[in-house]
């Protein structure tokens, strides 16, 4: 308001009090279909729209699965069908869905608590889901039909793994035990006890023998079943001889919790391993000399890592929502994918290595086309 208006008593008088319209003030009534009305928005909505537009421009995913209503924790890609994916999370649900086929998704019978882990059997026929409700559910992977429910643990399931040559499933529990079942016969086989804390990681060796270590966050076993690599909350990494149980090497480069470990493929010319931690580092190790080949910095903590097939490339998931691909022989980042709005919890590679799939705290699973970085490698 100008100074002239402020000094005008008439203006002050007009401004005082509320103004009401009566029926006599209505000139004409028009019937309007509510569907024709524009969506209401304010400045905040407009700002959000602009943010969404910017975010969409930075989304490199070729497929986004949004069926979940909570954070996603678990992810598995079929070993045979390169389009078949399963995801699970904090909404107590698991889904089967297909990359590039947004019209097909099968919601699996729900757990009574969060779905913590998923795994396809070696032949891709069965899918196991482990829940914090303490049960493992077995599904037909092609139809999503529930085949059986395996119970016994007194607390939540931390992880599930399949035998490399049969339908034997192994699961670790928060009640300090590890359980084994025959999924075909729906039969309990064994229960392993002795831990005094939650069994947070475990696996079958490639020759079929179960192996696990206590007090760890992550674990992997090499292709000939001779060595296990484990990462701990205290930042330490140990390589253990499975036969003798002795530590053959201790790798020290992380300063915070080690969240993921992976041996390089058996085809690698140089035996290597990759470890990622909350200190924002991916470390690529030369196992012949027990020294780091490369230390690859990230913007946030490295939450997950996987090798891309039998190649020299590996992918990492990060706390800032990005997925990055690294050349293990050169130590450089080949490509970084954007799309998630929160931390990546797990990543996996499709059977034909054409897609990287990631799940996130942002309630979504996203699919990235690996040709985007493979073109840059040629």
Instruction: Give the tokens for residue 215.
Output: 């007090």
Half-sphere exposure of 199 (CA within 13 A, CB side): 27
The C-alpha angle 156, 127, 157, rounded to 5 degrees, equals 10
Q: What whole-number distance in Å separates Cα of residue 139 and Cα of residue 129?
A: 8
pLDDT at 46: 42
At a CB cut-off of 8 Å and minimum separation 6, what does 152 contact? 179, 188, 191
Q: Which residue has the tokens 């969404």?
A: 52
Take residue 106 and report the two structure tokens written for it: 């099968």
Predicted pLDDT of residue 376: 55
- Any residues with CB less than 8 A from the CB of 249 and at least 6 apart, and which? 238, 239, 287, 290
How far is residue 150 CA from its own chain's centroid? 24
pLDDT at 22: 56
Look at the block and give the residue holding tokens 């909570």.
70
pLDDT at 12: 42
pLDDT of the residue at 55: 45
Whole-model pTM: value is 0.79
Spatial contact of 2 and 11, defined as CB atoms under 8 Å apart: no
The string of DSSP letters for 133-172 reads TS-EEEEETTT--EEEEE---SS-EEEEEE-TTSSEEEEE
**Cβ–Cβ < 8 Å for 94, 87:** yes
CA distances from 252 to 237, 241, 305 (A): 7, 18, 18
Q: How far apart are CA 90 and CA 120, in angstroms?
A: 20
Confidence (pLDDT) at 7: 44
CB half-sphere exposure, 67, CA atoms < 13 A: 21
Say if residues 272 and 286 touch (Cβ distance below 8 Å): yes
Residue 309 CB-density burial (10 A; 0-12 exposed, 13-18 middle, 19+ buried): middle
Phi and psi at residue 377, to the nearest 5°: -85, -15
Q: What share of the chain is helix, strand, coil (3-state, %, to 5)?
A: 10, 40, 45
Per-block average pLDDT, block size 10, for the chain (378 residues)?
42 47 53 42 41 61 95 97 97 96 92 96 97 95 95 88 94 86 94 64 77 73 92 91 89 94 90 97 96 97 96 96 96 96 97 97 97 63
Residue 44 confidence (pLDDT): 41
- pLDDT computed for residue 15 by the predictor: 46
pLDDT value at position 4?
40
Cβ-based neighbours of 132, under 8 Å, separated by 6 or more:
111, 113, 114, 116, 156, 157, 174
């Amino acid at each position: 308001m100008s100074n002239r208006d402020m000094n005008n008593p008439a203006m002050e008088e007009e401004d005082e009090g509320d103004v009401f319209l009566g029926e006599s003030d209505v000139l004409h009534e028009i019937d309007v279909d509510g569907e024709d009305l524009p969506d209401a928005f304010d400045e905040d909505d407009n700002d959000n729209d602009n943010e969404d537009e910017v975010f969409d421009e930075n989304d490199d995913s070729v497929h986004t699965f949004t069926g979940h209503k909570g954070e996603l924790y678990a992810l598995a890609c079929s070993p045979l069908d390169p389009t078949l994916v399963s995801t699970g999370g904090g909404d107590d649900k698991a889904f089967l869905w297909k990359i590039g086929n947004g019209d097909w998704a099968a919601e699996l019978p729900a757990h009574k608590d969060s779905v913590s882990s998923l795994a396809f059997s070696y032949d891709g026929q069965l899918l196991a889901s482990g829940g914090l409700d303490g049960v493992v559910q077995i599904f037909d992977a092609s139809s999503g039909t529930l085949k059986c429910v395996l119970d016994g643990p007194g607390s939540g399931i931390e992880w599930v793994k399949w035998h490399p040559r049969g339908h034997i499933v192994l699961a670790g529990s928060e009640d300090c035990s590890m359980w084994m079942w025959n999924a075909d016969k729906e039969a309990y086989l064994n229960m392993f006890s002795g831990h005094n804390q939650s069994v947070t990681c475990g696996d079958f060796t490639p020759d079929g023998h179960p192996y696990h270590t206590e007090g760890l966050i992550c674990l992997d076993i090499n292709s000939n079943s001779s060595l296990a690599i484990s990462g701990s909350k205290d930042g330490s990494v140990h390589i253990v001889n499975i036969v003798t149980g002795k530590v053959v090497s201790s790798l020290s480069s992380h300063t915070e919790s080690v969240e993921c470990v992976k041996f390089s493929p058996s085809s690698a010319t140089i035996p290597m391993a990759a470890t990622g931690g909350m200190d924002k580092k991916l470390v690529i190790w030369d196992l012949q000399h027990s020294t780091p080949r490369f230390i690859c910095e990230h913007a946030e903590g490295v939450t997950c890592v996987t090798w891309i097939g039998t190649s020299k490339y590996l992918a990492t998931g990060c706390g800032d929502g990005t997925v990055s691909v690294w050349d293990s022989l050169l130590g450089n980042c080949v490509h970084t994918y954007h799309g998630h709005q929160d931390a990546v919890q797990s990543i996996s590679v499709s059977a034909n290595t054409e897609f990287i799939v990631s799940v996130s705290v942002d309630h979504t699973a996203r699919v990235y086309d690996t040709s985007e970085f493979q073109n840059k490698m040629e």
